Structure formats: structure tokens, C-alpha cells
Amino acid sequence: MLNNRVDTIELIRIIDAVANEKSIDKEFVITSMEEAIEKAARTRYGQENNIYVSINRTNGQIELGRKLKVVENPLNNQNEISFVNAKKINKDIKLEEEILETLPPMDFGRIAAQAAKQVITTKVRDAERERQFNEFKDKVGEILSGIVKRIEFGNIIVDLQKAEAIIKRDELIPRENIKVGDRIKAYCFDVNKEAKGPQIFLSRSHPQFMAKLFKLEVPEIYEGIIEIKSVARDPGSRAKICVVSKDKSLDPVGACVGMRGSRVQAVVNELQGEKIDIINWSEDPATLVVSALAPAEVQKVVLDETNKRIEVVIDENNLSKAIGRRGQNVKLASKLIDHEIDILTDQEETERRQTELKIKTKRFVESLDVDEMMAQLLVVEGFSNIKDIDGASEDDISKIEGFDVETAKELKSRAKEFLEKESKEILDKVKELGIDEKLLNHEGLSLGMLLTLGQKNIKTLQDFADLSSDELIGGFDEIKGKRIEFEGVLQNFNLTRSEADNLIMKARDKLLLTS
């Protein structure tokens, strides 16, 4: 029997024990028990009864009964009661109201007890899973520590005491030897809510694992005096980390290295001997790339901020240092500063510039009908194409040594004439390709762009709107750990990503308005 003093005291003890053991709210355990007793009571007294159960939160006393609707002539004795009989229970009751009728204390049968146990078990398990998820979803971005419980197909299952987590094979540091029973640290990068409980994903190869280790070892990082700006890793081999100090009197690199290298060595040991380059951060990408490519000495840096590319010129003796084994040094430097880095030797740069000079010179000779010497002078002075000459002032051109105002006027006249003729030829080709009128009139697309689009079979505004910015201007893919560049349709027109996004979004907006 549950409705006696001894049983109710024991019930409160059970509730407290379950709540404490599973770290679940006591109220939730009580309501789960109420549902379980209600289910057992329905089995005992009939499913058609509107059973209610209430457990006293202080003394554990169980109130068991059923709700009945007050009517004149009851047709269903399980859910209705006559007005006359209801008055005997509560003289103030009115028609159509509900009255609570106490049921006799219930001795649970085997089936009813099993049903109650199943409800409580299910409810408590669901609550425990919800608690685990809520607890660990806030730990994303932190380092967690646990014991290796088992190893399955190269994946590590870690016991975090309150839950289990997984480190997949590709999230481990290559060649590290981990055994069952080892205590292990890892970075929590994702927590998913699953029916069987939270899926907690850890990583030891993630760049932020190293960053968080430095935060643990360097008090100045933990306190926010030193900030980690970026991290790049080749797990188990080499890594680079950029740091900056908010206190100008504090050397961030020295603070991260520590006395006799004690701080950085602690991180290196945890990362299985990974070599770490600590670099001073700079807002200037050109300055930063020089530091990032150390120990190689850089001779020259050419920055293309629009396309996030940096051209670095290095002498032959420093080339292997800059590139590193299997391209590791330049790859890490590129990730660290978020720019694509092109490395040239001084000889390669000279040859390339000579080739560019010849190509541009030839273009001016053929387009403007000038001699080679004049064409070369224009290129040397920074004029790259016919549009540059058309857009320049006569004063700018006449300042070139050997040029006068009349020469400048003539060059501008020839440039204008050439561009007009070229535009007409391109327009004729565009029309021949059958490009749709809406795409022809799309603001921001030049005739050259339209011609290129038409040649790639992009002939309607819908075709253009279906493109992504990467398909338009090019981008990079990560294939088997290698960063592979792919070309965009309009890659040669120097569109920025913002400009490409804007062109595509305007096309989509136009289509929405006309649909």
C-alpha cells in the first residue's frame, strides 16, 4: 500500500535519491511519479476514467482520485456524476462543474507496477539526456578532459563522467599513441542533440585546441591582456600562432614562450612535439607575411587586397625555407593571414615583368599605332591598358619624358577611337550570341563581361542569378588537405566578392519582382 505513513516517507527518500543521483530537478521526478501512478491507476480502475494523482511535496502523501462532470442524468458512470450525488460530496457544487472523487488506496499489481516503473525510467532518462545536452552545449569552444573508455575503428570514446564523447580518427594528432585508460584533453567543437543522448564531438587536431592550450598556460591570455589573433596548424608537425598585446610594454611573444620556454614547451608536449612559431600580429598584411614566412628573408611584397593575394619575392637561397617541406611553411602562413601567397624568386619576378612589359607594349603598338619606344614608355609610367590612357588627363600624359601636349591629345584621341570601335565589335558579337535583353540591361555588367558570359552559355538573367559568387569570380576548394584554386566565369575582370554578390542579388531581386 502507498497510502500509509511509512510508505510515503520512503517515497520522499526515493525521490530525493533519484534527483541527486541523476542531477535532475526534484519537481520533475515527482511529476514523473504522478504520471506513473496515474498510468497504473488507469490499468487498475479502467482506462476510461479521468484519473488524477497528486503527491504532497512535503510529506509524500498520495492523493488518488478521478474527475467527474456534474450532470442531471449521468449516462457514463466513469466520467459523470448526478447533481444529487455530487451535492453529498460538495454542497456548493454546480451543474457542468467538475468534482473530485477520492478513490480507495491502491495496491499496485505486477503489471501496474511495471508500467509505473517504465514511465518513471523513461521520464528520468529523457530528463538526464536533456540535462546533459544543456550542460555540454555551453562547453562548445572549451577544452574537456576525460578517460579513454574504448577505441572503435580508430575513433576514441572518452568518458567525461557525466557523458561520453567521441574523437574521430581524423580529429586526432597523427601518429599519437592513445590507449584505453589514458587521461586525455581535447577541444569540444560541436554538440548535437540525438534521441539516445547528446553527441559530443572532440578534436585534438583543431587549430583552436592549440589556442585554448595557450590560454591555459599563459595567464596574460586568460586575463585578456594578450589576444590570439589567428592560428594555423599542420597537426603533429608544425603550427603558427599570431598574438598581440593590449599593453604596449608587454612582449606578447616572450610572454607566450615563457621563462626558458616553459610555457610553449607545455603546449608542445600536449601536441606530441608539434613545432610552434609564435608571431607578432600586425594590421598590415605585408608586414605580417614577412614575419609569417620566417625564417626565410623576404625581399619584396606586392599586396592585392581586392583579391586577398600577396606576391612575395625571395632570393634563390631562401626559396626552400619560405616554401618549407611539402609546401608546409607557405601553406600555414597563407592560412594564418587569410591571404593567398604567391612566392617568386627574384629571377622569376624579373622574367615575369619582362613578359608583361612585352605583352602590354605589343598591345599599345597594335591598338594605338605607335612605335615600340613610345609604347614601352607608357607601360613603364604605369599605363596598363587603353582605358588608362582614355581616362588620363592630357597633363598626366604630357609629363612623360619625350611627350608633349599635342602627343597627349593624339594618344587620347586614338584611345577613344579604339575603345568605341572595340565596343561596337563586342556589342555585335553579344547580339550574335543571343543574350537576353534583361541581362544586356543588367546594371554593372560591361560589354566585355556580357561577351564572356555569352561564350559560357550564360544568356539570360535567370542563368546569371543561378550563379554563386565563387562561380563568378573564382575561389578555393580544400581537396585532400590541399587548397585548390578554381576559375570563375568573370575572374579576369577583377570583381571583388562584394561586387559579385551585389550583381547576383540584384538579378535575383529583379526576377522576384517580375515573377
- SS3 of 408-424: the string is HHHHHHHHHHHHHHHHH
- For residues 264 and 412, what is the distance between their CA atoms, to the nearest angstrom? 62
Q: Are 128 and 158 within one domain?
A: no
Q: Are 445 and 356 within one domain?
A: no
Q: Are 10 and 124 within one domain?
A: yes
Sheet containing 340-345: which strands, arranged edge to edge?
300-304, 309-314, 340-345
Domain that holds residue 106: 5-132
Read off φ and ψ for residue 412, nearest 5 degrees: -65, -40
Read off φ and ψ for residue 168, nearest 5 degrees: -70, 160
CA-closest candidate to residue 119, choices 13, 57, 32, 20: 32
CATH number at residue 73: 3.30.1480.10
Position 237 in a domain:
no
DSSP state letter for 488: -
Output the CA–CA distances (angstroms, integers) from residue 347 to 314, 342, 364, in the order listed: 9, 14, 26
Residue that terminates a domain, selected from 110, 132, 154 = 132
Q: Are 460 and 496 within one domain?
A: yes
CATH number at residue 461: 1.10.150.20
| 130 within 8 A of 174, measured Cβ to Cβ | no
User: Within 13 Å, how many C-alpha atoms sit on residue 465's CB side?
Assistant: 14
Confidence (pLDDT) at 11: 63
Q: How many domains does the chain have?
A: 4
- Residue pointed to by grid coordinates 576514441: 156
Q: Are strands 80-82 and 62-71 parallel, antiparallel or unpaired?
A: parallel
Grid coordinates representing 292?
A: 609569417
Confidence (pLDDT) at 3: 42
- For residues 207 and 447, what is the distance between their CA atoms, to the nearest angstrom? 45
Cβ–Cβ contacts within 10 Å for residue 266, how many? 16
Grid coordinates representing 196?
A: 539516445
Position 121 in a domain:
yes
Q: Are 504 and 456 within one domain?
A: yes
Confidence (pLDDT) at 390: 87
Position 146 in a domain:
yes
Residue that terminates a domain, selected from 100, 116, 132 = 132
Neighbour-count burial for 376-408, b at 16+ CB within 10 Å, e otherwise = bbbbeeebeebeebbebebebbeebeebeeebb
Position 390 in a domain:
no
Neighbour-count burial for 123-162, b at 16+ CB within 10 Å, e otherwise = bbeebbbebbbeebeeeeeebbebebeeeeeeebbbebee
CA-closest candidate to residue 315, choices 339, 338, 293, 286: 293
Grid coordinates representing 496?
A: 571583388
- Residue pointed to by grid coordinates 604596449: 248
Read off φ and ψ for residue 165, nearest 5 degrees: -130, 165
CATH number at residue 145: 2.40.50.140
Position 314 in a domain:
yes
Q: Are 98 and 34 within one domain?
A: yes
Q: Are 198 and 79 within one domain?
A: no
Confidence (pLDDT) at 112: 44
Confidence (pLDDT) at 343: 85
Q: Are 116 and 188 within one domain?
A: no
Grid coordinates representing 145?
A: 578532459
Q: Are 292 and 370 within one domain?
A: yes
Residue that terminates a domain, selected from 112, 132, 152 = 132
Note down pLDDT in tens along the chain; length 515 residues: 344 333 566 666 767 776 776 666 778 777 777 777 787 777 777 777 888 888 887 777 778 888 888 887 877 777 788 877 777 777 778 887 887 777 776 665 454 455 556 666 676 777 777 777 777 788 888 999 999 999 988 899 999 887 888 999 989 998 888 999 999 999 999 888 776 767 889 999 999 999 999 999 999 999 999 999 999 999 989 999 999 999 889 999 999 999 999 999 999 999 989 999 999 999 888 889 999 998 888 888 888 877 788 888 888 888 888 888 888 888 999 899 988 888 888 887 888 888 888 888 888 888 888 888 888 888 888 888 888 888 888 888 888 888 888 888 989 899 999 888 888 888 888 888 888 888 888 888 888 888 889 888 998 989 999 988 888 888 766 555 455 667 888 887 878 778 888 899 998 988 888 76
Grid coordinates representing 220?
A: 596574460
- For residues 37 and 53, what is the distance between their CA atoms, to the nearest angstrom? 7
Confidence (pLDDT) at 240: 94
Confidence (pLDDT) at 25: 74
What secondary structure does DSSP assign to 78-139, as a single string?
TTEEEHHHHHHH-TT--TT-EEEEEPPP----HHHHHHHHHHHHHHHHHHHHHHHHHHHHTT
- For residues 305 and 347, what is the distance between their CA atoms, to the nearest angstrom? 24
Grid coordinates representing 361?
A: 607594349
| 60 within 8 A of 12, measured Cβ to Cβ | yes
Question: Is the bond preceding residue 295 a cis peptide, omega within 30 degrees?
Answer: yes
Read off φ and ψ for residue 479, nearest 5 degrees: -120, 115
Grid coordinates representing 270?
A: 600536449
Position 167 in a domain:
yes
Q: What angle do CA 63, 64, 67 make, to 5 degrees?
A: 115
| 337 within 8 A of 356, measured Cβ to Cβ | no
Q: Are 151 and 89 within one domain?
A: no
Residue 283 identity (one-letter amino acid): E
Q: Are strands 275-280 and 98-102 parallel, antiparallel or unpaired?
A: unpaired
Confidence (pLDDT) at 379: 86
Position 105 in a domain:
yes
Q: Are 512 and 439 within one domain?
A: yes
CA-closest candidate to residue 310, choices 278, 274, 337: 337
Grid coordinates representing 121?
A: 525510467
Position 148 in a domain:
yes
Grid coordinates representing 5?
A: 505513513
Q: Are 103 and 154 within one domain?
A: no
